[in-house]
């Protein structure tokens, strides 16, 4: 593979020549069109690469390549070459770029049919020697290269090559499209990154796709590849949204309604991209302008105040978040009709903030207010289910599990009716499983977590990471119930998907592997018990090693014992595991079953809590029975601040 490249000066000149030769359709010509209409006619007689022609006529425009350009041939040539020039112009103080661009460097007169070994050796080594891949992405809302397997291969070669840099460049013209999308619906920007799923790419030759996918899965993994692309797309969006705001300010537009909307929408995008400082600065600017233009007592001003409350919540500043939400509610109740639905998300956010300060009575009051307003004319609506779900989570925190189950089952009924098979419905099944798990109703917990898993398989597919986590959760519940064979089967399925989509180094992959190893050990010990003729009543425990089983009838413990166990397992898990498991003498023969259960229960919860903090550790996973804390997530909708579901599906196996 020839590692020569062409200069930016040549690219600029070539673009002008194409425009001169094809003035009527210049703007719509794709790279493939230009190959057929310009490059092949100019090289047909010599049967050579276009770079050979350039080298003869303009030798200064050909040099050793230092930028490999990854693109899609269906792109408009103006977009591809224009983006290359924009990149070159931004590198004025650095070395002159020489672009390896296949249209110019490869001989387009010959249909090359290279073996797969060539791509995995020579091609990959050539990219490593060039040292820099420039990935041209367009349109920003649905980048074509991410749908083509060979473009993925080029991205992979940059990520897996030592010292190879990957730069993602979007055409400057895409800025206008970005602005339009943000002004209309900020979720459009967030949804773009959600759609980045390289594992959905296709290839004309199925064997090519198989080779590319296997290589990616065995090395960097699709999760890492997706994240690298998302990181740079996120950076591009943040940079250009910030520059749009600066440009409007410089143009004297800061007092206009359009500018207020831009600041508000951009601020929500910054928040969703975890650019917290930028989000606070932008929303604060929006609030100042709204206050000046609309006045302090205006619903739109209240919305911005509410979103600042969400940002404070995101930073863990719960008292400050409560103050913002109370201020927003005061303004809305003064300026909106009684029981206006715009109050629902604000009351809901207030309730969740109170939940985080453990002011549960106030949390319940706020959420019940939101529910009362929502029930006036939208009792069977997904938002109603959302409020019910959050109310159920408060009850769960208070250990009022029957109340929690009642709320979540009602929410589930609404979601099943309104959304049907949907990730949100599956998430609620996971919440219900959590509550049943806390009451010791393992059968119901397994029923709902299995339903969640099957629903995600139907909606997202069996190879989606979220589905894999649901499969893993089902395995955990089987393990806790002493059914080790189905537990191992579920964990093996989950692990296969996680290795392919998230990679071997992802914490969730490691946790799944550790739990699978643990279950396999329990199965082995159970078999040993059976072969020796012993009862397998407690086969889940590895008594001689101080290990514990997972099928623990915790319902026999008193409330006081349960509280003590939770406290001990949280404050000193390592000490408990080390002390009780290895130095505690065996209980006397006459010891009660309750005593033995108590010891086993302490060990399980201590080991489980320890596993939470050691999820990234490669050590012995025998005691890792997974203890993901209930995650708290918040989202901001256009014009209002809406609290998202507090628990996500993967948290359905919380043991502590």
- Residues 197-234: tens digit of each pLDDT: 777 777 777 887 888 888 888 777 777 777 777 777 78
pLDDT for 564 equals 53
**pLDDT one-digit tens code per residue, 438-488:** 888 988 998 999 999 999 888 888 888 888 988 998 898 888 888 899 999
Q: What Å distances lie between residue 342 and 338, 364, 377, 389, 434, CA to CA?
A: 10, 19, 13, 19, 31
Contact 6, 51 (CB under 8 A): yes
pLDDT at 462: 86
5 pLDDT exceeds 80?
yes
- Asked if pLDDT for residue 555 goes beyond 80, the answer is no
Instruction: Check pLDDT > 90 for residue 46.
Output: yes
Q: Contact 232/158 with Cβ under 8 angstroms?
A: no
- Average pLDDT value for residue range 522-526: 86
pLDDT digits (tens, 9 = 90+) for 153-171: 888 888 777 888 888 888 8
How far apart are the C-alpha atoms of 215 and 106, rounded to whole Å?
25
d(CA 557, CA 566): 12
Band of residue 502 on the pLDDT scale cut at 50, 70, 90? confident
Please report which confidence band the pLDDT of residue 538 belongs to, taking 50, 70 and 90 as the band edges: very low
- Residues 83-99: tens digit of each pLDDT: 999 999 888 656 789 99
- pLDDT band (50, 70, 90) for residue 117: low
Residue from 502, 504, 505, 450 nearest 476 by CA: 450
- The pLDDT, as a whole number, for residue 114 is 63
Q: Which among 589, 629, 605 is positioned nearest to 548, based on CA atoms?
A: 605
The three state secondary structure string of 346-365 is HHHHHHHHHHHCCCHHHHHH
pLDDT tens per residue across span 176-188: 888 888 888 777 7
Domain ranges of the chain: 4-173+187-229
Tell me the CA distances in angstroms from 123 to 349, 360, 510, 606, one per residue in order.
Answer: 53, 61, 32, 51
For residue 496, pLDDT over 70 is answered with: yes
Say whether pLDDT at 388 is over 50: yes
Model confidence, pTM: 0.56
Give me the mean pLDDT over the 519-526 stretch: 88
């Amino acid at each position: 593979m020839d590692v020569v490249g062409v200069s930016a000066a040549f690219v600029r000149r070539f673009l002008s020549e194409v425009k001169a030769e094809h003035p009527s359709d210049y703007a719509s010509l794709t790279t493939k069109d230009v190959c057929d209409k310009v490059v092949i006619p100019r090289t047909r007689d010599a049967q050579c690469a276009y770079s050979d022609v350039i080298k003869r006529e303009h030798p200064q425009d050909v040099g050793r390549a230092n930028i490999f350009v990854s693109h899609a041939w269906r792109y408009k040539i103006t977009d591809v070459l224009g983006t290359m020039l924009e990149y070159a112009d931004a590198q004025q103080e650095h070395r002159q770029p020489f672009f390896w661009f296949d249209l110019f460097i490869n001989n387009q007169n010959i249909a090359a049919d290279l073996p797969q070994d060539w791509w995995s050796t020579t091609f990959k080594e050539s990219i490593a020697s060039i040292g820099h891949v420039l990935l041209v992405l367009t349109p920003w809302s649905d980048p074509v290269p991410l749908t083509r397997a060979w473009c993925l291969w080029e991205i992979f070669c940059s990520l897996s090559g030592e010292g190879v840099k990957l730069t993602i460049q979007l055409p400057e013209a895409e800025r206008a499209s970005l602005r339009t999308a943000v002004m209309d619906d900020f979720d459009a920007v967030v949804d773009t990154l959600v759609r980045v799923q390289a594992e959905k790419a296709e290839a004309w030759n199925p064997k090519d796709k198989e080779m590319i996918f296997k290589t990616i899965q065995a090395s960097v993994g699709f999760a890492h590849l997706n994240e690298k692309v998302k990181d740079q797309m996120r950076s591009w969006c943040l940079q250009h949204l910030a520059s749009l705001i600066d440009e409007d300010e410089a143009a004297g537009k800061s007092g206009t309604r359009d500018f207020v909307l831009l600041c508000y929408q951009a601020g929500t995008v910054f928040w969703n991209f975890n650019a917290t400082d930028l989000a606070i600065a932008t929303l604060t600017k929006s609030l100042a302008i709204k206050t000046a233009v609309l006045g302090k007592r205006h619903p739109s001003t209240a919305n911005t105040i509410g979103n600042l409350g969400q940002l404070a919540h995101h930073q863990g500043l719960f008292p400050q978040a409560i103050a913002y939400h109370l201020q927003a509610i005061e303004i809305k109740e003064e300026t909106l009709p009684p029981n206006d639905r715009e109050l629902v998300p604000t009351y809901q956010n207030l309730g969740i903030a109170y939940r985080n300060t453990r002011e549960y009575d106030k949390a319940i009051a706020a959420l019940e207010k939101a529910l009362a307003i929502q029930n006036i004319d939208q009792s069977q609506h997904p938002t109603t289910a959302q409020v019910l779900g959050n109310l159920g989570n408060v009850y769960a925190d208070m250990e009022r599990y029957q109340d929690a189950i009642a709320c979540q089952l009602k929410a589930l009924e609404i979601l099943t009716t309104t959304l049907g098979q949907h990730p949100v419905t599956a998430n609620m099944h996971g919440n219900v499983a959590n509550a049943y798990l806390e009451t010791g109703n393992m059968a119901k917990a397994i029923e709902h977590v299995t339903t969640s898993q099957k629903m995600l398989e139907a909606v997202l597919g069996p190879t989606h990471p979220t589905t894999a986590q649901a499969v893993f959760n089902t395995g955990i519940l089987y393990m806790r119930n002493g059914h080790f064979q189905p537990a191992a089967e579920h964990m093996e399925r989950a692990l296969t998907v996680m290795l392919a989509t998230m990679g071997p180094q992802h914490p969730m992959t490691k946790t799944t592997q550790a739990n699978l190893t643990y279950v396999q050990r329990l199965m082995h010990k159970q078999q040993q018990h059976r072969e020796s003729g012993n009862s397998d009543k407690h086969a889940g425990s590895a008594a001689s090693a101080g290990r514990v089983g997972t099928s623990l009838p915790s319902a026999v413990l008193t409330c006081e014992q349960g509280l003590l166990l939770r406290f001990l397992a949280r404050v000193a898990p390592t000490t408990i595991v080390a002390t009780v498991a290895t130095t505690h003498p065996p209980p006397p023969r006459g010891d009660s079953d309750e005593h033995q259960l108590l010891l086993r229960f302490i060990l399980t919860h201590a080991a489980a809590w320890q596993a939470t903090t050691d999820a990234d550790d490669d050590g012995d996973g025998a005691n890792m029975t997974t203890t993901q804390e209930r995650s708290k997530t918040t989202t901001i909708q256009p014009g209002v601040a809406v609290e998202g579901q507090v628990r996500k599906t993967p948290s359905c196996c919380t043991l502590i």
